[in-house]
Amino acid sequence: MPTRPTPPHLAVPYTAPSLAALFRGFVSIGMSSFGGGLTAWVRREVVQRRGWMDDQQFLSGYALSQLVPGATNVNLAVFIGTHLRGVAGALACFAGLTAPPLLIILVLGALYFGMHGMPGGTSISVALSGMGAVAIGLNLGTGIRLARRGIRGVVPGLITATVALSIGVAGFPLIKVLAIMIPVSLLAALWTRPA
């Protein structure tokens, strides 16, 4: 089984998790998150609960997952699996994250369309709306937690606030904001780095 140096926050030598543990962990993640907020659950399971990665590794993987094409959280699961156990780990994480929720959604979709127009069918729509609010809260909480640990200094704080306000409040397109703020961020990092 692959080994690597023990992270400082773990008391025992690090041993890569088994493929079954990766699959079960991502089944747990996929079954815990509905309608969004998946990144919060991934971080909780992988960093806080199981200690498979530290925050820096997680943030690096999350950033990379956003840059490559595809669904960010699926990319993140593949990144984590690859980082921990190679190709087999990537497949285990991907299957754990996607297969059980897909089956549940297919069953619920069949029930939903079967009940469409029947009394009580609107309660499903109300429940789904409530889950959207939960997902927003989870994402906001994760963002705040990661910002407290990852943003050090006034300049990174200003850049983060500018991006958040530009996209979230002003409604500017993500691509245009990033096209401006990525070079600004890189220049600020070069300017503020210690000599």
- Residue 151: what pLDDT? 77
- Residue 8: what pLDDT? 53
3-state SS string over 71-113? CHHHHHHHHHHHHHHHHHHHHHHHHHHHHHHHHHHHHHHHHHH
- Residue 61: what pLDDT? 92
- Whole-number Cα distances in Å, 103 to 89, 136, 173: 21, 24, 34
Which residues lie across from 15 on neighbouring strands? 3
- Residue 161: what pLDDT? 87
What backbone phi and psi angles, to 5 degrees, belong to 171?
80, 20
- CA–CA separation, 187 vs 193, rounded Å? 10
- CA–CA separation, 105 vs 141, rounded Å? 26
- CA–CA separation, 123 vs 126, rounded Å? 5
| Residue of 160, 149, 182 lying closest to 59 (CA atoms) | 149
- Residue 81: what pLDDT? 95
Residue pair 96/26 in contact (Cβ under 8 Å)? The answer is: yes
- Residue 101: what pLDDT? 81
Q: What 3-state class would DSSP assign to 169? A: helix
- CA–CA separation, 52 vs 9, rounded Å? 11
Evaluate if pTM is beyond 0.75: no
pLDDT in tens, the chain (195 residues): 555 555 555 554 568 899 999 999 999 888 877 656 788 889 989 999 999 999 899 999 999 998 888 888 899 999 999 999 999 999 999 999 999 888 888 887 787 777 766 665 566 667 767 777 777 787 778 778 777 777 777 888 888 889 888 988 899 998 999 899 999 988 888 887 776
